[in-house]
Chain A
């Protein structure tokens, strides 16, 4: 399965909905999307990963890159994820200390207010 990406605005935040597989082949598409949003002046991002089937370290690297970019503009990048197999990768790598991870978009918006 390929990567699917869509963006929308909700509660004053930009939601990036990601689906499919994020790996060494597809991660550049996600990187481009995050870079584009930051270049457009969107500095408070919520990446909804509920429809992600697979995530590897390349995808983690892209998310960390996105976090660095928004932080440079005093922005934020929050994640939405409840899938245990995806959460496990964040725990293994210690990235749960770096990213706020929420169970729903609504919770993420509430937390960033």
Chain B
């Protein structure tokens, strides 16, 4: 098991760095090449959302923390925005309630799309996803199968 932890000030320019680090560590952990684009996009979305959580808090210098862990046959990414917030209801998160924009309305739906697409993208990309919020900050935890390299070399 190996853990890589990245902490950065909640600034947009650092999100690309987080994407690059996550993709490099995922590749090293044996995550399939075909999945690396999803990892890169999902961690970018989670970090962008975390940076956005700090936007209205100019005096808040708590960093965003990204933890990459390749233990137990899974490659796990946890992004903690460091912004204390009220807890989400578990039922709502499990069903993705309110997280995916409703595109049925032609006009009003566009306002929602413009502002809250990040979690919708993550929900569409990641099968194993956990979103939590609490006094320690909002945490998005995602995981993918790792060790794909050994499977690919068989035969």
Contacts and interface: CB of A to CB of B under 8 A. Distances in A.
A11 to B, nearest CB: 27
Contacts of A98: 103, 110, 113
Contacts of B114: 61, 64-65, 68
B41 A56 contact: yes
Given A61-B114, A64-B113, A67-B110, A93 B13 contact: no
Contacts, number: 71
Chain B facing A: main interface SS: helix
Contact of A56 (B13, B44, B124): B44
Interface stretch (B77-85, B115-123, B138-146): B115-123
B118 A57 contact: yes
Interface string A77-97: 000000001000100111101
Nearest to B119: A57
B39 interface: no
| B: interface residue count bin | 20 to 34
Nearest to A84: B37
A62 B41 CA distance: 17
A21 interface: yes
B120 A57 contact: yes
A57 B114 CA distance: 9
Interface in A18-48: 21, 23-25
Interface string A91-111: 011110110000000000000
B56 to A, nearest CB: 15
A68 B110 contact: yes
A60 interface: yes
A89 B113 CA distance: 13
B118 A25 contact: no
A58 interface: yes
B138 to A, nearest CB: 16
B101 A58 contact: no
Given A24-B12, A60-B117, A61-B115, 7 more contacts: A54-B40, A56-B121, A58-B118, A60-B121, A68-B110, A92-B121, A93-B121
Interface of B: 12-13, 15-16, 19, 37, 40-41, 44-45, 47-48, 51-52, 101, 103, 110, 113-115, 117-118, 120-121, 124-125
9 contacts: A23-B19, A24-B51, A54-B40, A54-B41, A56-B44, A58-B118, A61-B113, A65-B114, A92-B121
Interface of A: 21, 23-25, 54, 56-58, 60-61, 64-65, 67-68, 85, 89, 92-95, 97-98
